[in-house]
């Protein structure tokens, strides 16, 4: 059998006579610089994510910041749409959709999210880049750390940490800029005129980014992120994962380029440790599938480069499936994968439908509980209500309010009201009817609000009209 091996790292077991200390000091991982297709793909994905993160807060739309989460006013603007706390069900729905997309991708191709799009690793690679340009490549960094502190070492370390802090601070400013308008935030920072909350979040996010991407790095993925723990239950024999072709690579051994290594009983693996030296989580992919692996493809690029230099066929380490390694066909259209895809398509279609048909009016009617009803002029029964009307659009609107449900029911107040963009108003109204037209003491009525200039945009709410018991 040519199955994908899985390394057992359970503490206490005889794992090649190795012992594991749960409280051992973390060994720093020195990632070697390399080139390759998957690195280019990951760099492009990271660049897009960084560009979106840093640029979206600067985009203006209709005279305001296009993406702004205005917590004091409880309004969340995303380009032409404004969401309110009452719309948080849509956020829950969106998170469920994203979770199912993640499940689908994991079943199909493993931890692609971790390797190519997870913010933790996007920023980690950013920090590794800063480390390389200030301290040099892997071997030079190792010699620098082992050597004594001198002027060169101090300057290189200081330059690295300055760049890390600048990146972390810029990340914090960009993030807070989605909650406090970025064009107001930057002048406030420069003039040291920040509120306590802005100051707290800027400091916290700077420290968190600096610590997570600069110091913790892979520790966040291994010990903090739950995705690494439950991903294995979503894999099957047709899931694309990064694997070492043991049948082709073993027996490992050094050799010269033009020697007949097969006659010596050697496989294609020259035991150069290139795949280990470029791994950002410090694992040896040749030991088998491990939960630490983030599927970034670094080991594939490094191994393919060595194979090309040796004149061997690339793909000793590659994205593959267990069925493929066993010489069996890979089944891409399998029930679980199609089930996730079907669920995602249905939920996305329903979400788009609900979002496109979302009524930009929030409407509520609250009946005055101080008195069940009032008798006016002896023959009229009156109820008092407070209508809460929220204009969820970004333009001022004039609304027309009507009431129905009982013949002869009429409003005493003006039936039209102006509501500014994003405003919530309380509009008290009085509703009357002649006593002899009431057939019950408790009747259902319907309030309707519609825009004067767009009558199709309407919202309704049900309430109760109270009166005296009808005379027998």
What is the rounded distance in angstroms from the CA atom of residue 283 to the CA atom of residue 273?
11
pLDDT, position 52: 96
Q: Which residues pair with 365 in a beta bridge?
A: 387
| Structure confidence at residue 454 (pLDDT) | 76
Q: What local confidence, expressed as pLDDT, does residue 12 receive? A: 45
The average confidence (pLDDT) of the chain is 91
Q: In sequence order, what are the residues at sequence separation of 6 or more whose Cβ sits closer than 8 angstroms to the Cβ of residue 323? A: 237, 238, 329, 330, 331
Position 7 scores a pLDDT of 56
Model confidence at 472, pLDDT cuts 50, 70, 90, reads low
Helix ranges restricted to H, 231-334: 246-249, 274-277, 298-310, 322-325
Separation CA 380–CA 320 (nearest Å)? 81
Measure the CA–CA gap between 213 and 166, rounded to whole angstroms.
Answer: 13
Residues in a beta bridge with 436: none
For the chain, what percent of residues have pLDDT higher than 90? 75
- Give the up-direction half-sphere exposure of residue 30: CA atoms within 13 A in the CB hemisphere: 14
Instruction: Point out the least confidently predicted range of 163-172, 212-221, 312-321, 371-380.
Output: 371-380
Burial class (CB in 10 A: 0-12, 13-18, 19+), 410: middle
Partner residues linked to 400 by β-bridges: 416, 450
State yes or no: pLDDT of 261 exceeds 80.
yes
**SS3 call for 413:** coil
Average confidence (pLDDT) over 239-265 = 93
Higher per-residue pLDDT: 11 or 456: 456
Domain residue ranges of the chain, discontinuous segments joined by +: 37-83+118-234, 361-466
**CATH fold group of domain 361-466:** Immunoglobulin-like (2.60.40)
Measure the CA–CA gap between 59 and 136, rounded to whole angstroms: 37
pLDDT tens-digit readout, 112-144: 999 999 999 999 999 999 999 999 999 999 999
């Amino acid at each position: 059998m040519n199955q994908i091996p899985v390394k057992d790292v359970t503490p206490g077991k005889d794992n090649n006579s190795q012992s594991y200390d749960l409280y051992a000091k973390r060994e720093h991982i020195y990632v070697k610089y390399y080139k390759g297709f998957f690195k280019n793909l990951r760099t492009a994905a990271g660049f897009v994510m960084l560009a979106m993160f840093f640029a979206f807060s600067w985009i203006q739309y209709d005279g305001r910041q296009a993406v702004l989460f205005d917590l004091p006013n409880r309004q969340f603007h995303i380009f032409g749409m404004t969401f309110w706390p009452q719309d948080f069900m849509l956020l829950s729905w969106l998170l469920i959709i994203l979770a199912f997309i993640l499940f689908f991708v994991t079943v199909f191709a493993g931890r692609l999210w971790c390797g190519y799009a997870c913010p933790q690793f996007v920023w980690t690679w950013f920090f590794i880049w800063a480390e390389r340009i200030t301290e040099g490549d892997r071997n030079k960094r190792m010699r620098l750390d082992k050597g004594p502190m001198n002027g060169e070492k101090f300057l290189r370390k200081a330059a690295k940490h300055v760049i890390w802090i600048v990146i972390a601070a810029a990340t914090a400013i960009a993030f807070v800029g989605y909650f406090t308008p970025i064009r107001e935030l930057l002048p406030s920072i420069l003039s040291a005129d920040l509120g306590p909350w802005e100051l707290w979040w800027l400091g916290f996010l700077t420290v968190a980014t600096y610590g997570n991407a600069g110091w913790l790095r892979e520790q966040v993925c291994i010990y903090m992120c739950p995705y690494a723990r439950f991903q294995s239950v979503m894999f099957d024999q047709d899931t694309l994962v990064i694997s070492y072709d043991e049948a082709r690579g073993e027996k490992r051994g050094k050799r010269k380029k033009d020697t007949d290594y097969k006659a010596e009983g050697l496989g294609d693996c020259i035991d150069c440790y290139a795949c280990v030296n470029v791994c950002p989580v410090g694992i040896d992919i040749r030991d088998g599938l491990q939960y630490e692996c983030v599927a970034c493809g670094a080991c594939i690029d490094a191994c393919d480069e060595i194979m090309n230099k040796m004149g061997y066929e690339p793909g000793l380490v590659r994205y593959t499936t267990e069925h493929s390694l066993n010489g069996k066909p890979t089944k891409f259209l399998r029930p679980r994968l199609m089930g996730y895809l079907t669920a995602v398509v249905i939920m996305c279609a329903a979400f788009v439908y609900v979002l496109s048909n979302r009524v930009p009016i929030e409407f509520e009617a609250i009946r005055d509980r101080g008195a069940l009803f009032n008798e006016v002029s002896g023959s009229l029964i009156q109820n008092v209500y407070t209508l809460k009307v929220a204009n969820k659009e970004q333009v001022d609107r004039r609304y027309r309010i009507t009431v129905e449900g009982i013949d002869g029911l009429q409003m005493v107040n003006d039936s039209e009201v102006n509501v500014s963009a994003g405003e919530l108003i309380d509009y008290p109204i009085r509703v009357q009817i002649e006593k002899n037209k009431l057939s019950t003491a408790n009747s259902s009525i319907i309030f309707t609000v519609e825009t004067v200039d767009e009558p199709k945009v309407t919202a309704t709410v049900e309430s109760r009209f109270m009166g005296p018991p009808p005379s027998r």
